Amino acid sequence: MQTDPFHIEVLPKSVHPASEQRETGVTHTSYQEESAFYALIERGDTQRLAQTLEQYFSTAVIVGHLSDNPTRQMQYWAVCCITLGIRAAIRGGLEEMAAFNLSDQYIMQVDQLHSSGEIMRYLGKIVMELTELVRKKAHRNCPASVRKCLHYIDAHLHETVRLAELAALTGLSAAYLSKLFHQYVGKTIGAYIMEQKLEAAQKLLEEGRGQKEIAYMLGFCSQTYFITRFKEAYGITPHRYAAACRKK
């Protein structure tokens, strides 16, 4: 059995793996242990997860034989972990479009790593990052209608999203949907949309996009209005924010 310094053990390659595992008594890490680990991501429990990570890897995690190449073995296992972690985050309320995009980003990064140590350190980093996102940004226990609105807003952020559209999408009256959304999200639909647009604007500024382009892309009625709302939210103009990003 192969073992690395991070206590990941790989079951030996076998024509009859079940028979060999019965003989040796060594099998995959149990579904129950795995589920308990991913449940922490779903709950956004960063404190418990930090403790559990250390415990989880202090005794060997036993995984199946996925490749004869040691690096690909770890890459394939990492992809499995990322896939399960992302789905736990979605169950915890993380918006699915953002979650799936994160998954793609994480997997592309794993593809660039070439040692077990690098991959394990990266997994430790992203599992904490993902759990923190669930803790901070997820809307837990939202009814399906509100979750549907959140996903629609995220997917159509570059457009003008109207309350009437969301009401038609959910089959609820505009008044009832507004009340329900505020109850579970903690802000009005309009305030939430503006918040998401401004967060998206920050990322675009960090990428080097111009404020005129961003105002148009995100559906602001004018560049002046975009600048005003950005400064109200962050205490700095988009131009100065972009300049600060360039210095960093």
* Mean pLDDT along residues 35-44: 90
CA distance 11 to 63: 6
- Tens digit of pLDDT for each residue in 125-149? 999 999 999 988 767 678 889 989 9
Instruction: Please check the confidence at residue 86 and state whether its pLDDT lies above 90.
Output: yes
Q: How confident is the model at residue 18 (pLDDT cuts 50, 70, 90)?
A: confident
Which range in 26-30, 60-64, 215-219 is most confidently predicted, on average pLDDT? 215-219
Task: Name the strand (E) or helix (H) holding 2.
Answer: strand 2-3
CA distance 112 to 229: 39
Question: How far is C-alpha 28 from the geometric centre of its chain's CA atoms?
Answer: 26
CA distance 176 to 179: 5
- Is 82 in contact with 173 (CB distance < 8 Å)? no
CA distance 203 to 122: 23
Whole-number pLDDT of residue 57: 61
Whole-number pLDDT of residue 196: 93
Half-sphere exposure of 77 (CA within 13 A, CB side): 26
Weakest mean pLDDT among 23-32, 55-64, 128-137, 149-158: 55-64
* Mean pLDDT along residues 197-205: 94
Task: Name the strand (E) or helix (H) holding 62.
Answer: strand 61-63
- Is 189 in contact with 220 (CB distance < 8 Å)? no
